[in-house]
Amino acid sequence: MATEVTVPTLGESVTEATIGEWLKQPGDAVAADEPIASLETDKVAVEVPSPVAGVIAEHKVAVGDTVEVGSLLAIVEEGGAPAAKGEDAGRAAKQREEGKEDQEEAAAPAASSDSSVTMSPAVRRAVIEHGVDPTTIKGTGKDGRLTKEDVVAAAKAKDAAPASTQTATSAPAPAPAAKGERREERVKMTRLRQTIAKRLKGAQEEAALLTTFNDCDMTAVIEAREAYKDLFAKKHGIKLGFMSFFAKAACLALKDVPSVNAKLDGDEIVYHDYVDVSVAVSAPNGLVVPVVRSVDQMSFAEVELAIAGYGNKAKEGTLTMQDMQGGTFTISNGGVFGSLMSTPIINPPQSAVLGLHRIEDRPVAVNGEVVIRPMMYLALSYDHRIIDGREAVTALKIMKEAIEDPMRMLIDL
């Protein structure tokens, strides 16, 4: 019996998606609820499960095609291999059988591993670029899938290995480009990347963007982390990071300057009495901003656990629409990549974003003396249509003072 697999409901206001990759090919066996395809929406990647156990009979769309909710994706033949369902399925089944025989004859140690490693387009390009064998890499993504980070790490390990450890059976390295040769590669933008581009450009065109800067002495926070990191990790099972300090400092500032936590809706300004912080997280397909809700009601440990959870979900590609919706204020930490200073762009319909940067020792004047302190530049970009310069500067100053004297966050100053 043939069963149709259709595009599931993708979330509020999301009506279409792009076929990111097929996780199962025609002729492949599939269990009930096992993912067979990955769809890329304008926010997250969504896996499509098989409604029944059986064998993939055929694909109805190709990778890169745009599909709408409810449209037909594939046909699954329940129970077993499809009978006379076309030459493609027959060839696929034959190829699998031949591959199985070859593995049995070879009896190699690697025969127990899956020879058809599922890879996303980004991972596939990384494999080609770095010249590594994907079957020798242990994936850290969902269900053991490879991520781009896995490929890069394997390539670095391969480069670091002494030349003497390379065996005669190693695959030959890709031939280097001839001197003077100029190459180009055209890669279609993913739906997520297209949406990021449109939203960021739209923010520039719609909002009256302005950025104010300040620098922050990180001494007190660094000393607090050093003093309590072991006790904190033992009690809460998570490391005490910088993000929880800045999230709580932001709550303090947004409470005193509510316009920074507001949004523009038509000719009305909507003020929020809660703080939902969007945290910019790097994912394999681009930057995503999951939302940590009610941060003003959370403890430091709860904030750290929530951010770490979203980071893992982003790496595994399991973020949901609900994880991404909402948010009243954004924190983006470019410092983890080494950024000294930047002008972040707001995440509409929000009105402000805090940019964090790298910490570096710099000479500063303290009580009339020049001393070396760990300093960080802070940047607050804001929509000047609803936030005045005085309010933006005041909010950033409150955050700076809370970081330099964390006791303020405990006694609400």
- Mean pLDDT per 10-residue run, the chain (413 residues)? 81 70 87 84 75 87 82 81 44 48 40 47 67 77 72 78 49 62 82 75 87 95 92 92 93 94 91 92 74 92 92 81 86 88 90 94 93 96 94 96 90 68
- Name the active-site residue from 102, 133, 230, 384: 384
Architecture field, domain 117-160:
Irregular (4.10)
Residue 236 is among the residues annotated as catalytic for this protein: no
- Quote the pLDDT of residue 329: 95
Architecture field, domain 1-114:
Beta Barrel (2.40)
- Quote the pLDDT of residue 375: 96
Architecture field, domain 209-411:
2-Layer Sandwich (3.30)
- Quote the pLDDT of residue 161: 62
Domain ranges of the chain: 1-114, 117-160, 209-411
Mind listing the pLDDT tens digit for each residue in 204-251? 888 899 999 999 999 999 999 999 999 999 999 999 989 999 999 999
Give Cα 298 distance to the centre of its chain.
23
Give the CA dihedral 285, 356, 391, 406, nearest 10 degrees: 130
User: What's the predicted TM-score (pTM) here?
Assistant: 0.63
Could you tell me which residues are beta bridge partners of residue 350? 263
Rg (alpha carbons) of the chain, rounded to whole number: 26
Nearest in space to 192 (alpha carbons), one of 73, 274, 281: 281
Residue 144: exposure state from Cβ atoms within 10 A (0-12, 13-18, ≥19): exposed
Kindly state the helix (H) or strand (E) to which residue 226 belongs, with its residue range: helix 219-236
- Quote the pLDDT of residue 348: 86
Mind listing the pLDDT tens digit for each residue in 6-49? 888 766 556 777 887 888 888 888 888 888 888 877 666 778 88
- Please tell me whether residue 381 adopts helix, strand or coil conformation: strand
Q: Distance between CA atoms of 1 and 292, rounded to whole angstroms?
A: 45
- Quote the pLDDT of residue 113: 36
Residue 388 is among the residues annotated as catalytic for this protein: yes
Cβ atoms within 10 Å of 62's Cβ, excluding its own: 8
- Name the active-site residue from 133, 230, 388, 405: 388
